[in-house]
Amino acid sequence: MSSLALKGPYWVTARQHRRAVWAVAVTAGLGLVSVAGLRFWDSRIPGTNQDNGYTLLRWGMEYFAVGMVTLPLLVGVFVAGPLVARELESGTYKVALTQSVSPDRWLASKLVMAAAVTVGGTLALMAAYALGLARVAGDWQFTWDERGTYESTGPLLIAHGLLAIAVGALVGQLVRRTLVAMSVTGMVMGAVLLALHALRWDFLPVRTITGPAGPTLWVPDGGLEMDSGLISTTGQRLPGWFCAEPLDENGLCRSDENIAARYIDYHPASHFWPTHLIETGIVLALAALALLAAFRVLRARHP
């Protein structure tokens, strides 16, 4: 067992931040126990989805989804502040460098420990989320494309955590002030997450279905609607409100427009995994670049 024990800077890092490690373990444990308890309560009250057990579970899962989305922000803020910038600001990192520990090893030990705790904690929270999602999946706010569910159903959330660690390490060294580094990292990670959310449904081309101008057209098989409207006889796309008026005797929606059909652009549910894996690859590439930049800054300042 002694060979498996942490040694050198790894032991120091774990010792310094043992409260944070325990906080992650307790949070993951509480998440799993809470969801399991809500599932048990729901199973004890048979009936429709309006029963108190299901309502309470769904309410808890809504907050759980928000927490899963914001998890990378918390990881990045912690790495940038208490893990890196605080030691640089106070000068305590110099003690490690005088103990035959190279700057690269000093930073690597911190990032390896952060990655291990982040991946382990994220997997535990993903398991808890999956337990609750098995009951509410498909309901409003819990479809495959919704925030929280989308990130937590595959490796993307872990990739976000690794990106947050790399960004935190880079910003922590550049800023070297604990509170400022935490704020900057939070803003950077928030901007990255918002940008990825805005771009993710452009990774794959949409599919299009058309139908008669009169009847309502629906997205098939739980797909994600991206755009909808009307198509004129000339092929021009028009907004759907053109057909807000009653149809005339020929089944056309307006006498002043020759409408040929309705259309819907959508992503089918089968686009989930390709989109998810493409985004995961992008996030991991960004994490590698940020990590490379972090070590370059370290070597430039501590040759």
> pLDDT tens digits for 198-233?
999 999 999 999 888 766 788 888 899 999 888 888
Residues of the chain with pLDDT under 50: 1-4
pLDDT tens digits, residue range 159-178? 999 999 999 999 999 998 99
Calculate the alpha carbon distances from 28 to 47, 116, 122, 132 in Å. 30, 14, 8, 14
* pTM of the entire predicted model: 0.88
Given a contact cutoff of 8 angstroms between Cβ atoms, the answer to whether 274 and 151 are in contact is no
Conformational region of residue 286, where left means phi above 0, alpha means psi within -120 to 50, and beta covers everything else: alpha
Distance CA 130, CA 227 (A): 30
Given a contact cutoff of 8 angstroms between Cβ atoms, the answer to whether 237 and 230 are in contact is yes
Distance CA 285, CA 295 (A): 16
Distance CA 59, CA 259 (A): 44
pLDDT at 4: 47
